[in-house]
């Protein structure tokens, strides 16, 4: 079996080819079972790999895998896969992608792609702010108002911090981090602080085999941030440029918008940097 794939960087910064979050997109996954998809994602060893399949409801059905598990939704795989679907003639500058989390509408302006996130749910964190600060290696005074678990596809703990300096000081403690559990049992934390009227600095952390890793650019968490603003009563329209990834040497820019209907949009530039064939 020969599988064609493309490698892309999503949420790239100003045309810099080796910025953003990397993604492998397999053009035709119809001959694969989920176990094979998981094994291929482990082989590619990128943040995520996606597999394009036929859909009767949208331009394509998309399966998303990290090296360890399948995801119902993720932001940079959605945008990168839409870019490949357009290149394959499966859709144009407006298309829908069917995922386990539902059909996600995606639009393009050139190579800048934007998704509309699903309506979100939110709930209070079980831990008090002082405990959240401790597991992040911060002081209690670094935590702003109000940490929330938010789910617009994937539940994550959104934690506002009181300053840009606090975002830079975050040093998660793996032994304490294990206490955080989302609804699906996988604790993930997104910290942020505003750095200007329309700019935000963010970081995203997730557990992996006893360690805590940091993601270069997290579209699902950015969508959850938009829903956090809605839950906090911030009046739309809102428009932010969100910086992420500098602490793992993969600078990334995400565009976050919330319209007057409280709909959340996440966008960024997509750059294809290569292609290949996997022989099974």
- Answer yes or no: is pLDDT of 208 > 90: no
User: 84 and 138 share a domain?
Assistant: no
pLDDT band at 179 (very low <50, low <70, confident <90, very high): confident
User: 65 and 175 share a domain?
Assistant: no
The total number of structural domains that make up the chain: 2
User: 167 and 257 share a domain?
Assistant: yes
Per the structure, the complete domain to which residue 96 belongs is given by 2-116+268-279
User: 44 and 170 share a domain?
Assistant: no
User: 156 and 274 share a domain?
Assistant: no
User: 126 and 224 share a domain?
Assistant: yes
User: 44 and 160 share a domain?
Assistant: no
User: 176 and 217 share a domain?
Assistant: yes
- Answer yes or no: is pLDDT of 66 > 90: yes
Condensed to tens digits (0 to 9), the pLDDT of residues 237-279 reads: 999 999 999 999 999 999 999 999 999 999 999 999 999 999 9
Condensed to tens digits (0 to 9), the pLDDT of residues 79-114 reads: 999 999 999 999 999 999 999 999 999 999 999 999
The pLDDT value given to residue 80: 98
- What beta strand segments (E) does the chain contain? 2-12, 21-26, 48-53, 60-65, 70-71, 94-99, 102-109, 112-116, 121-124, 148-151, 155-160, 189-196, 199-208, 211-215, 238-244, 252-258, 264-279
User: 85 and 185 share a domain?
Assistant: no
Q: Which residues of 57-90 are buried (b: 16+ CB within 10 A; e: fewer)?
A: ebbbbbbbbbbeeebebbbbbbbbbbbbbbebeb
- Active-site residue among 27, 35, 48, 70? 48
User: 71 and 129 share a domain?
Assistant: no
Condensed to tens digits (0 to 9), the pLDDT of residues 112-148 reads: 999 999 999 999 998 999 999 999 999 999 999 999 9
Those residues whose C-beta lies under 8 Å from the C-beta of residue 256, and which sit 6 or more positions away, are 200, 222, 223, 225, 226, 238, 239, 240, 241, 242, 264, 265, 266
User: 128 and 253 share a domain?
Assistant: yes
pLDDT band at 175 (very low <50, low <70, confident <90, very high): confident
The pLDDT value given to residue 178: 78
Q: Is 48 a catalytic residue?
A: yes
The CATH number of residue 109's host domain is 3.10.310.10
User: 105 and 13 share a domain?
Assistant: yes
């Amino acid at each position: 079996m020969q599988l064609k794939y493309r490698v892309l960087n999503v949420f790239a910064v100003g045309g810099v080819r080796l910025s953003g979050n990397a993604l492998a997109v397999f053009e035709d996954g119809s001959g694969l079972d989920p176990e094979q998809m998981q094994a291929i994602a482990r082989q590619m060893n990128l943040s995520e790999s996606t597999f394009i399949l036929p859909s009767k409801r949208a331009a394509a059905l998309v399966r998303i895998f990290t090296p360890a598990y399948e995801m119902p939704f993720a932001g940079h795989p959605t945008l990168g896969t839409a870019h490949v679907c357009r290149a394959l003639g499966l859709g144009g500058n407006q298309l829908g992608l069917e995922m386990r989390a539902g059909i996600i509408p995606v639009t393009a302006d050139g190579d800048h792609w934007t998704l509309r996130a699903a309506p979100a749910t939110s709930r209070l964190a079980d831990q008090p702010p002082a405990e959240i600060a401790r597991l992040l290696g911060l002081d209690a005074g670094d935590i702003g108002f109000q940490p929330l678990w938010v789910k617009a596809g994937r539940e994550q703990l959104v934690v506002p911090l009181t300053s840009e300096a606090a975002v830079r000081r975050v040093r998660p403690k793996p032994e304490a981090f294990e206490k955080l559990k989302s609804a699906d049992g996988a604790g993930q934390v997104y910290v942020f602080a505003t750095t200007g009227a329309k700019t935000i600095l963010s970081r995203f952390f997730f557990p992996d085999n006893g360690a805590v890793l940091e993601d270069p650019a997290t579209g699902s968490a950015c969508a959850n941030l938009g829903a956090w603003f809605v839950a906090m009563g911030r009046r739309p329209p809102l428009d932010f440029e969100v910086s992420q990834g500098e602490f793992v040497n993969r600078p990334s820019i995400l565009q976050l918008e919330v319209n007057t209907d409280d709909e959340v949009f996440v966008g960024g530039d997509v750059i294809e940097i290569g292609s290949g064939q996997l022989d099974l």
